[in-house]
Amino acid sequence: MRPSIREDVTVPSTEPAKPNRIFARQLYDGMSPHMRADQVIDIADGRIADIRPATADDARDHAMPEFDLVTPGFIDLQINGAADTQFNFDPTPEALRRIAAGAREGGTAYILPTFITAPQRDYVRALEAVQTAITQGAPGILGVHLEGPFLSHMRPGIHDTDAIRSMDAEDLDRLTAARGGVLLLTVAPENLPVGALQRLTAAGIRVFAGHTEATADQMAQAEADGLVGVTHLFNAMSQMTGREPGVVGATLASKGLFAGIIADGHHVDWRNVATAARLLPDRLCLVTDAMLTLAGQLTEFELHSETIELRGSRLTNKTGRLAGAHVSMIESVRNMLDYAYLGLPDALRLATANPARALGLEGEVGSVRPGYRASFTCLTQGFDVAAVITDGLLYHAPG
């Protein structure tokens, strides 16, 4: 057993270190159903250079950070805010850095900051902010998730119904010309103009169905046209009935669609969560759908002229309608262990390899392999976050 890292080499959480290697007592690599014990991961230029069994020389390297459990860095496909910062309220590169930092407290290495339905073409500000943040090297920003405004008035959730609208030619031009990481676009496919979905997906946009009343047949056509997933499975979508599978049934029966799911105990019954995990083991993705209260001090805020309050772990408006979530990625993984009865590798896959594949980034992130980006979620034996490493930068957990 190698000795614990000395206190005098601990790096303050405000100053990320750049270790050239880390030690994992247990390593989940994102691929194997089993853990690997006593592994050293060598890092060079923000990439994984090698993964190898620890040697006696490694045991003498007291400056090497060591962790009880190392996994690929968690990836959150849907996060609206954190650290008292909401992307819609402040679509700037500085806000994205704060949100990414708040997400790291819950073990997240990478985020798709999510900009929800807003008037007209306000989403362009979000696209520009993300492009600038990535150009500036802001850690942990993979791209952007636009959730709306091209949704169904039948399934608005907490979105501003006055701003929900149809997609037009100018929208198509702007979206297909967008640059700056991955663009994930949530739409109601039944409301898209003819040919729009094919054009969006041909431009490399990852299109998900959400806030939609689509039938199973409409979902099948959308999937044939390039749809790759659904946003927060079970929520704000047509449900499965005996003679109409709806979006839920179409997703569970699909051989290819990915699905985000909010595993907070409020959005989806745990029996449905467990069913989805069993049917979509390689395509279900944990998402937080977190709002600005995550890793923040605020307990209420205004959204579309409504007051949203945090009560316990539940965010609602005055009528009790859910308004985003207050859950971290590490809490979501724990919930899959406790309530969906998954084994540890299966639960971790939902936060790592699956979302990487959903974004088409499985050759870069989501697994621990030589050549991949050196990004890891580092956990304690008690399954708390010890540190997050993003592209070779190590951030210790607060406290």
Is residue 40 a contact partner of residue 61, using CB atoms and an 8 Å limit? no
The active-site residue, picked from 289, 338, 346, 384, is 289
User: Is there a contact between 290 and 325 (Cβ–Cβ < 8 Å)?
Assistant: yes
Among residues 231, 233, 132, 127, the alpha carbon closest in space to that of 182 is found at 127
Give the separation between CA 42 and CA 349, rounded to whole angstroms.
Answer: 22
What are the residues facing 69 on neighbouring strands? 26, 379
The verdict on whether residue 34 carries a ligand-binding annotation is: no
Distance between CA atoms of residues 213 and 246, nearest Å: 8
323 is in an annotated binding site: yes
C-beta of residue 154 within 8 angstroms of C-beta of residue 161: no
The answer to whether 243 is a known ligand-binding residue is yes
The three-class DSSP label of residue 150 is: coil
- Which of 51, 2, 70, 136 is CA-nearest to residue 389? 70
- In angstroms, what CA-CA distances link 112 with 29, 85, 134? 22, 15, 12
Q: Is 317 annotated as a binding residue?
A: no
Query: Whose CA is closest to 52, among 67, 66, 41, 36?
Result: 41
Instruction: Specify whether 289 is catalytic.
Output: yes
Is 272 known as a binding-site position? no
**Residue 386 structure tokens:** 């010890």
Q: Which residues contact 325 (CB under 8 A, 6 or more apart)?
A: 262, 264, 266, 267, 288, 289, 290, 291, 315
Q: Which residue has the tokens 């968690």?
A: 74
- Give yes or no for a contact between 204 and 212, defined as CB atoms under 8 angstroms apart: no
Query: Nearest to residue 337, comparing CAs of 397, 286, 372, 267?
Result: 286
User: Is 211 assigned to a binding site?
Assistant: yes
Helix ranges (H only) for the chain are 56-59, 93-104, 123-135, 169-177, 196-202, 216-224, 246-253, 270-279, 329-339, 344-349, 353-358
Was 396 annotated as part of a binding site? no
62 is annotated as contributing to ligand binding: no
Whether 335 has a binding-site annotation, put simply, is no
- Can you name the residues that pair with 302 across neighbouring β-strands? 307
Q: Are 87 and 146 in contact (CB under 8 A)?
A: no
**Per-position DSSP letters for 306-323, written without gaps between them:** EEEEEETTEEE-TT--B-
**Catalytic sites, residue numbers:** 289
Binding region for substrate: 158, 235-236, 243, 267, 322-324
Binding region: 147, 158, 211, 232, 235-236, 243, 267, 322-324
Binding region for Zn(2+): 147, 211, 232
